[in-house]
Amino acid sequence: MNLFNYNKSKNMIRLLGVFLAMGFVQPVWAAGPPAPSAFSNPLAIVLVVLMLLLLIVIGILANILIGTADVKLKKRKQQKAAVPVAAVLITLLLLSSSSLFAQTGAAPADAAATTTAGQTIGGMTASTFYVMATVIFLELFIIIALLINIKFLLKAEKDKLVAETQPVAEEVKKNQLSWWDKFNSFRPSSQEADLDLGHDYDGIRELNNRLPKWWLYGFYLTIIVGCIYLYRFHIAHTGPSSKQEFETAVAQGELKVKEYLKLQGDNVDENTVTYLTAKEDLEAGKKLFINPANCVPCHRADAGGLVGPNLTDENWVYGGSIKDIFKTIKYGTNKGMKSWQENFTAREMAQLASYVKSLKGTNPPNPKAPDGPVYKEEAAPAAPAIDSAKAKDGKMAMN
C-alpha cells in the first residue's frame, strides 16, 4: 500500500475541518456592528453540505483502507503526524479573522458601498467561493486516491491468498477420487509408494493394484452363464442342439424361398415366362378365361372359337409357344384383340397363357375352322448316350 497517499489523505481531512471551522468563527474584536454571515447564502449552504457529504465518503473509504492495511504501521505513522497536524489546526484557527473571511467584521458603510457586484459570486465573496470549490476538488481527489489504493491493496491480498492456497488446492485435487475410482477401490497417486512391489521393468513399476470391480463381476457372471449353458444343452438337453438349430434354419430358409418364388411370378415377361403346370395356376387361368368380360365373347367358353380363332387345335396365327401366347395376351393383335396388360398382372397373364396352352386337343363341339399355320412344339434336346461299357465300369467302381 502507498503509505504516503494514505497519510496525505488523513491530513487533507483534518485541513478540511479547519477550513470549515474558520468559516463559522466570528471575530470578536472587529469594530462596528456585525454584518450578515456569508453562510446565510443558499449557495454557501449547498457547498457546505456537499463538502460534508464528501467528507463522510472519505471517512468511510479511509476506514475500509485502515481495516485492510497493516495496523502497527498505521499507528506508528499516526503518532508521528499528530503534532504537526495539531499545530496547523491551531494556526489556521488564529488566522480565521483575516480579511479572507472578514465578511462578518465591522466595515465602514462607505467601504461596503465600494464593493462592486463583480467581486461576488452568487451573493458570496469570490474568495469564499473559490476556497469552498478548492476544498470540494481536494475531497474528490482524496476519494479517487483512496479508491485506487483500496483497489491495489485488495489485489495484493488476493494474489497473496491465491499463492498460499494454490499448493494446498493442488494437493487436495491430487488426492481426490472420482465416483468411478471409489467404486473400483482405486487409491490416489500420492499413495503409489505404498503399492510398489519393487519390480521395475524399463522404468515401468509394478503396483499391487486390485482388478476393477466391473471386471471381476463380469468374470464371475461369465462363469455362472457357462455353468447354466453346460447343464441345459449338454446334461439336461432342454435346449436345441447345434444340429437341430441348423435343420430348423434350413427349413425356414426353404419356406422363404418358396414364398419368394411365388411372388416372383409378378416379375415375369414374354422372355422369362414358363409353362405353369400346377393345378392352382391352371384353375386361376381358367377362372380368368371363362369370365364373360374377358375371353368368352371372342373364343367361347370351351375355346372352340367364335370371332376369334379356335384355341384347341394345332393352328396358331401368332405362335403357339407359351411365350407367344403370353405376348399375344399382353400386347394384343392387329386383328381386333386388345392389350390385356392393364387388366391383368404379369402372374395372371402367365396363368391365363398356361391354361390356354393346356386346351390343346380338347376337341370342343362345332369348332371354328383352323386359322394360321400349324405349330409344332420343339423337341427337347435328347440326353447324351452313355456307353454301356463305361456305365458298367462305373457301376463296378461304385460297388
Residue 146 banded pLDDT, cuts 50, 70, 90: confident
The C-alpha atoms of residue 64 and residue 88 are separated, in whole angstroms, by 26
Comparing 53-57, 60-64, 158-162, 264-268, the range with the smallest average pLDDT is 264-268
Quick: pLDDT tens for 177-222. Answer: 778 877 777 777 777 777 888 888 888 888 887 888 889 999 999 9
The C-alpha atoms of residue 164 and residue 178 are separated, in whole angstroms, by 25
Contact 237, 319 (CB under 8 A): no
Q: Which CATH class is domain 270-358?
A: mainly alpha
Give strand pairing partners of 213. Answer: none
Reduced to 3 states (helix: H, G, I; strand: E, B; else coil), residue 120 is strand
Contact 39, 24 (CB under 8 A): yes
- For Cα atoms 293, 297, 302, give the angle at the middle one, nearest 5 degrees: 105
Q: Which single residue is written with the C-alpha cell 461596503?
A: 112
Contact 142, 12 (CB under 8 A): yes
Is the pTM of the predicted complex or chain greater than 0.85? Answer: no
Average pLDDT on 139-143 reads 88
Quick: pLDDT tens for 313-354. Answer: 888 988 888 999 999 998 998 888 899 988 888 888 999 999
What is the length of the chain?
399
Domain coordinates in residue numbering, the chain = 3-104+122-164, 270-358
The C-alpha atoms of residue 176 and residue 172 are separated, in whole angstroms, by 6
Half-sphere exposure in the Cβ direction for 111 (13 Å, CA): 8
Taking 70 as the threshold, does the pLDDT of residue 17 lie above it?
A: no
Quick: pLDDT tens for 348-399. Answer: 899 999 999 999 888 888 888 888 888 887 654 444 444 444 444 444 444 3
Which H or E element spans position 198?
A: strand 196-201
| Model pLDDT, residue 372 | 82
Q: What is the mean pLDDT of the chain?
A: 74
C-alpha cell at 236: 439336461
| Model pLDDT, residue 13 | 56
**DSSP summary character for residue 194:** H
